[in-house]
């Protein structure tokens, strides 16, 4: 029986066939030469005294619907950059998240920091596409990709100088990430097949990820307050990918400052 993650990937692959016809790979590769050098996400996630937040721009999700009224990617990116985000995560999926890859180009002039292309990537074309549109790294979802796909796409990214954030959700995913020799590993507390979030995923998987030396660990989903960040930093997380709690906040700048440890502690995590 298929789940929503299967459906998203299936629809993405149908869409990709048309994308390839409209912009063939040789032309896409030429566009890569127009991009500025890749920004160093590892440096961004390890330098500085405050907690490291990868702040996400996404209009909606298949689980929660529309997240923000009067959505404006450029304005949100400006707030994120100004108030302490070290990397931006840009949702580019259209059918379920209401976005498109053009948002990377829209945000790029505003953000002098690394941009993560967050999408449902399963084809080499999408890796080239990410670089051609200004991304500095891209997402690979270990739950859905088989071992060979994951390894091959990660290697292609390395050849292009483009790191991949390999997202895991369980022990089997983590083993895949190890075998693929991933060095930037995400631990997603949300089950993408049903939308449920459980912070115990990170509590269980962070110690496992640390068994491989040199990994940079990103805790994803379900982070709403400073206390959760402090807990996961103590057990080894290096950075936090945060979307919904920022996108639904009444005051994005203040919310972000609190999350990174540079804000008003009286500002509630529900804002």
* CATH number where 25 lies: 3.20.20.70
127-183 tens-digit pLDDT: 999 999 999 999 999 999 999 999 999 999 999 999 999 999 999 999 999 999 999
Confidence of residue 218 (pLDDT cuts 50, 70, 90): very high
The total of structural domains in the chain comes to: 1
Structural domain contains residue 221: yes
Whether residue 269 has pLDDT greater than 50: no
3-state SS string over 78-107?
HHHHHCCCCEEEEECCCCCCCCCCHHHHHH
Whether residue 266 has pLDDT greater than 60: no
What integer pLDDT is reported at residue 195 of this predicted model?
87
What integer pLDDT is reported at residue 265 of this predicted model?
46
Q: How far is CA 140 from CA 126, 166, 255, in A?
A: 11, 5, 28
Compute the residue count for the chain: 271
What mean pLDDT do residues 190-196 have? 89
Distance from the Cα of residue 182 to its chain's centroid = 15
3-state SS string over 201-244?
HHHHHHHHHCCCCCCEEEEECCCCCHHHHHHHHHCCCCEEEECH
Structural domain contains residue 268: no
Which parts of the chain fold into alpha helices (H)? 4-22, 25-32, 41-46, 73-82, 102-107, 124-132, 147-159, 171-179, 200-209, 226-234, 244-247, 252-260
Query: What is the pTM for the complete model shown?
Result: 0.94
Structure tokens at 12: 């993405």
What integer pLDDT is reported at residue 263 of this predicted model?
66
Calculate the average pLDDT of the chain.
94
3-state DSSP call for residue 169? coil
Query: Would you name the residues annotated as active-site residues?
Result: 56, 58, 118, 167, 188, 220-221
Whether residue 208 has pLDDT greater than 60: yes
Handedness of CA 57, 60, 61, 63 (dihedral sign): positive
Confidence of residue 64 (pLDDT cuts 50, 70, 90): confident
φ/ψ (deg, to 5) at 109:
-65, -20
Structural domain contains residue 71: yes
Domain that holds residue 77: 4-34+41-260
φ/ψ (deg, to 5) at 146:
-80, 170
Residues of the chain with pLDDT > 90, as a percent, come to 87
Reference 127, options 172, 165, 179, 89; nearest CA is 165
Structural domain contains residue 250: yes
Structural domain contains residue 270: no
Reference 223, options 239, 208, 234, 235; nearest CA is 239
Structural domain contains residue 265: no
Structural domain contains residue 85: yes
Structural domain contains residue 193: yes
């Amino acid at each position: 029986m298929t789940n929503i993650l299967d459906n998203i990937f299936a629809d993405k692959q149908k869409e990709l066939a048309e994308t390839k016809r409209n912009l063939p790979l040789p032309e896409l590769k030429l566009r890569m030469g127009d991009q500025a050098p890749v920004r160093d996400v590892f440096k961004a996630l390890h330098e500085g005294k405050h907690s490291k937040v990868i702040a996400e721009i996404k209009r909606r999700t298949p689980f929660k619907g529309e997240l923000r009224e009067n959505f404006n990617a450029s304005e949100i990116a400006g707030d994120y950059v100004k108030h302490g985000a070290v990397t931006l995560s840009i949702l580019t999926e259209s059918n379920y998240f209401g976005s498109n890859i053009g948002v990377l180009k829209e945000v790029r002039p505003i953000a002098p920091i690394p941009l993560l292309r967050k999408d449902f990537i399963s084809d080499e074309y999408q890796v080239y596409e990410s670089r051609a549109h200004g991304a500095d790294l891209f997402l690979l979802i270990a739950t859905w990709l088989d071992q060979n796909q994951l390894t091959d796409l990660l290697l292609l990214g390395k050849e292009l100088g483009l790191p991949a954030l390999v997202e895991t959700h369980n022990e089997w995913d983590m083993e895949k990430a190890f075998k693929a020799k991933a060095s930037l590993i995400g631990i997603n507390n949300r089950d993408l097949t049903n939308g449920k979030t459980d912070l115990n995923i990170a509590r269980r998987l962070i110690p496992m990820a640390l068994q491989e030396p040199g990994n940079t660990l990103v805790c994803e989903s379900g982070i709403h307050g400073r206390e959760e960040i402090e807990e996961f930093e103590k057990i080894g997380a290096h950075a936090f990918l945060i979307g919904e709690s920022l996108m639904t906040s009444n005051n994005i700048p203040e919310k972000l400052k609190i999350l990174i440890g540079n804000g008003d502690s009286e500002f509630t995590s529900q804002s």
